Amino acid sequence: MSVKITGIGHAVPDGVLTNFDLEKMMDTSDEWITERTGIKERRIAPKGSATSEYAARASRKAMDMAGVGPEEIDAIIVATLTPDMKFPSTACFLQEKLGAQRAYAFDLNAACSGFIYSLTVAKGLIESGAARKVLVSGAELLSTIINFDDRSTAVLFGDGAGAVVLEDVPDEEGIICTALHSDGSLWELLNCPGGGSVYPISKEMIDEKLHYIRMNGNETFKNAVTRLVEVTREVLEKSGRTIDDIDLFIPHQANKRIIDAVAKRLGLSDGKAYLNLHKYGNTSAASIPIAMSEAWEEGALKKGDLLLISAFGAGLTWGSALIRM
């Protein structure tokens, strides 16, 4: 049995927020943001938008490419930390929007690693016989939890969604290997504490701005580089491949300096690390499927290519997957 990605799609809001726009809103500069992160602009959805709207647009494109109708989908997983509502799941809203009436649907929260976690779960569902065709979407409206009074985080994040269709394609290689890790002891490095059971919604919680993203950037950066290198090597070793076998590396799009450092330590050839964070910033669980979809549209990722994806995020969580397209 082989679990293959047969469709990919993405959708982003039309609204563009550039570094120059941010210069007018806070004490920052295009030069600082570009040098420290590589980000030039990000997409921001109109107020009142639903994460599932973008997930649905991305999913329809992925389903069109796969030639799979809504009635054929057995399971829907949405990787998100910005759900439409606390409950029901964004995956249920997506199911309704797609008319995928046969599917069971649930969300998965592994922050920026959520897409790779979801791919691993989807692969397991198909291999166990619990589903034949699975739709996975990484979808985020991070603008809903950005603190625009905190320049150290406000410049980093954006909105968007990507999606893939997974199915059993016998006699063809598909998702070859994945590796996942977590370290909950480092949760304080990156979180959004308000609105859960520890800090339920209250005037005090909002006054303390606990409903926004908080991050220790330096420590997160250091952990990201170390863990991304480790887990990427783990997946290569487990599958008996080397970095030279890889056609394209799509890392989580958080910071160009992180990607450059990881690519250098892995010994990746120039031009094999895909970057689109200059256009979208960090879109958390959506970043890898958006990048996969764009790379496919541009011809940078083709059928038969050996694709390596790696992500790192809050939790802490990190993971990697080796995929034959």
**Applying CB under 6 A, what is the total number of residues that bind ligand UT7?**
20
Q: Which is nearer to ligand UT7, 73 or 224 (CB)?
A: 224
Q: Which is nearer to ligand UT7, 23 or 247 (CB)?
A: 23
Query: Choosing from 10, 92, 252, 255, which is the catalytic residue?
Result: 252
Q: Which is nearer to ligand UT7, 108 or 155 (CB)?
A: 155
CB of 24 to ligand UT7, least distance (A): 13
Tokens of 48: 């009142």
Q: Which is nearer to ligand UT7, 174 or 313 (CB)?
A: 313
SS (H, E, C) the chain: CCEEEEEEEEECCCCEEEHHHHHHHCCCCHHHHHHHHCCCEEECCCCCCCHHHHHHHHHHHHHHHHCCCHHHCCEEEEECCCCCCCCCCHHHHHHHHHCCCCCEEEEECCHHHHHHHHHHHHHHHHHHCCCCEEEEEEEEEHHHHCCCCCHHHHCCECEEEEEEEEEECCCCCCEEEEEEEECHHHHHHEECCECCCCECCCHHHHHCCCCCCEECHHHHHHHHHHHHHHHHHHHHHHCCCCHHHCCEEEECCCCHHHHHHHHHHHCCCCCCECCCHHHHCECHHHHHHHHHHHHHHHCCCCCCCEEEEEEEECCCEEEEEEEEC
92 is catalytic: no
Residue from 218, 271, 303, 304 binding ligand UT7 (CB under 6 A):
218
Binding string, residues 93-122; x marks residues near ligand UT7 by CB under 6 A: -------------------x----------
CB of 294 to ligand UT7, least distance (A): 18
Query: Choosing from 92, 112, 177, 192, which is the catalytic residue?
Result: 112
112 is catalytic: yes
252 is catalytic: yes
CB of 258 to ligand UT7, least distance (A): 6
Footprint (CB under 6 A) of ligand UT7, residues 271-290: 282
Q: Is 147 in the site for ligand UT7 (CB under 6 A)?
A: no
CB 93 within 8 A of CB 150: no
What is the C-alpha to C-alpha distance for residues 52 and 139, in angstroms, rounded to an integer? Answer: 7
Binding string, residues 22-61; x marks residues near ligand UT7 by CB under 6 A: ------x---xx--xx------------------------
Q: Which is nearer to ligand UT7, 296 or 318 (CB)?
A: 318
Q: Is 151 in the site for ligand UT7 (CB under 6 A)?
A: yes
Residue from 115, 221, 274, 318 binding ligand UT7 (CB under 6 A):
221
What is the C-alpha to C-alpha distance for residues 252 and 236, in angstroms, rounded to an integer? Answer: 17
Q: Which is nearer to ligand UT7, 64 or 219 (CB)?
A: 219
Catalytic sites, residue numbers: 112, 252, 282
Interface residue list for ligand UT7 (CB under 6 A): 28, 32-33, 36-37, 112, 151-152, 155, 217-218, 220-221, 224, 254-255, 258, 282, 312-313
